[in-house]
Amino acid sequence: MSATDHRRVLAGLIGSHIQASLTPALHMHEGAEQGMQYRYELFDLDRTTGGPLALSSLIASAQEQGYAGLNITHPCKQTVLPLLDELSVDAKALGAVNTVVLAGGRRVGHNTDWWGFAESFKRGLPDVPMGHVVQLGAGGAGAAVGYAMLKLGAASLSILDIDKDRMHALVETLSKLFPSQRVQAISDLPGAMATADGLVHATTTGMAKNPGLPLPRELLGARHWIVEIVYFPLETELLKTARAIGCRTLDGGGMAIFQAVGAFRLFTGIEPDADRMARHFDSLARRPAAFATAE
C-alpha cells in the first residue's frame, strides 16, 4: 500500500434507531487495517432536531466538512433521492439509495443493499432451487432483495406486503425490469408457500423490539430454504423455527457485511478485504450486548 493511502476518511450513517448499528465498527476496523485514519459517525434522526426533516441539512453539513460519503437507512432511502445530483443504474432502477458518495461537489446515490444481499446469498445458499420464491415485505429493503433475487435467476417471485399500494408498485417496477421472469403480488400466502422453493423475509418482524414469526409456522416445510435480512438479532424466531423443521437457512448478517463492503469501496476507491470484515462482524455479533438496544 502506498503512502497516499494513509489518509483521513470521514463517513457516516443517517437514519432512525441506529445506535446499535455495527456499520461504524466494520468501516473503521477495515480502514485501520488499510492504513487509513477512518472515522465513521452516526447521525441518528431520533436524536436530531427536526428528525427526518433534517436530512438535507445533514448531507449539506457532511459535504462541507469533507465527508467521502454517507450511508442512508430507514426512513430516508427514498426521501434522499431529490437531494442528489446523480443516481447509479441500480439505484435509479430501485428508486432507493443506501449509499451517497460525496466528491467533486456532487452527490451520487448508489444502492449496495441489493448487491450485499446477492453476495451473501451466493455464498450461503449457492445451490438451492430458484423456481418459485416467496418474499414477505416490499419496502426499501424488500425492493433491494426482490431485485437481487431476480438478478440471481429466480424464475417466479411472489411478493406479499401489508401495504397493498407499496406491494403493487414494487411488482410493477420489477416486472418492467425483468420482463422474462414472473413477478406477482399475492394475497394467498398458504397457496404460495405450497409451491415455493424458498422464502425471503424482508419485514421488521423478528427484530429485537418486534419479536415473533412473520407467518404461521405450519406453512414452513423441510423442503423450503429460508433467508432472513434482519440481523438484530442474528438468530430470529423465524430462523430458529425453520432450522428445527429442517430447512436450510441464511441469516441477515451477510447482507449487512457485504453492503458495507460495497460502501467502503465507493467511499475510498479501495477494495476492502471482505473476509476480514466478515470475521470482524462475527466477533462483534458474538458479544452478549451487541444487539441489546437494536430495533
Report in angstroms the alpha-carbon separations of 47 from 53, 208, 226.
Answer: 12, 20, 35
Catalytic residues: 77
Closest CA relative to residue 101, chosen from 267, 261, 265, 264? 267
Task: Identify the pLDDT of residue 2.
Answer: 46
Domains 8-110+259-286 and 114-250 share a fold: yes
Buried b / exposed e along 133-154 (16+ C-beta atoms within 10 A): bbbbbbbbbbbbbbbbbbbeeb
- Report pLDDT digits (tens) over 159-203: 999 999 999 999 999 999 999 999 999 999 999 999 999 999 999
Task: Identify the pLDDT of residue 5.
Answer: 52
CA distance 76 to 59: 12
Tell me, which fold does domain 114-250 have in CATH? Rossmann fold (3.40.50)
> What does pTM read for this prediction?
0.90
Task: Identify the pLDDT of residue 207.
Answer: 84
Task: Identify the pLDDT of residue 292.
Answer: 34
- Computed on alpha carbons and rounded to an integer, the radius of gyration of the chain in Å comes to 19
Contact between 87 and 120 under an 8 Å Cβ cutoff? The reply is no
- Boundaries of every domain in the chain: 8-110+259-286, 114-250
Instruction: Kindly state the cell numbers that stand for 146.
Output: 426482490
Task: Identify the pLDDT of residue 285.
Answer: 86
For the segment(s) 8-110+259-286, the CATH number from 3.40.50.10860, 3.30.43.10, 1.10.10.10, 3.30.559.10 is 3.40.50.10860
Burial of 180 (0-12, 13-18, 19+ CB in 10 A): exposed
pLDDT lower than 70: segments of the chain: 1-6, 287-295
DSSP 20: T
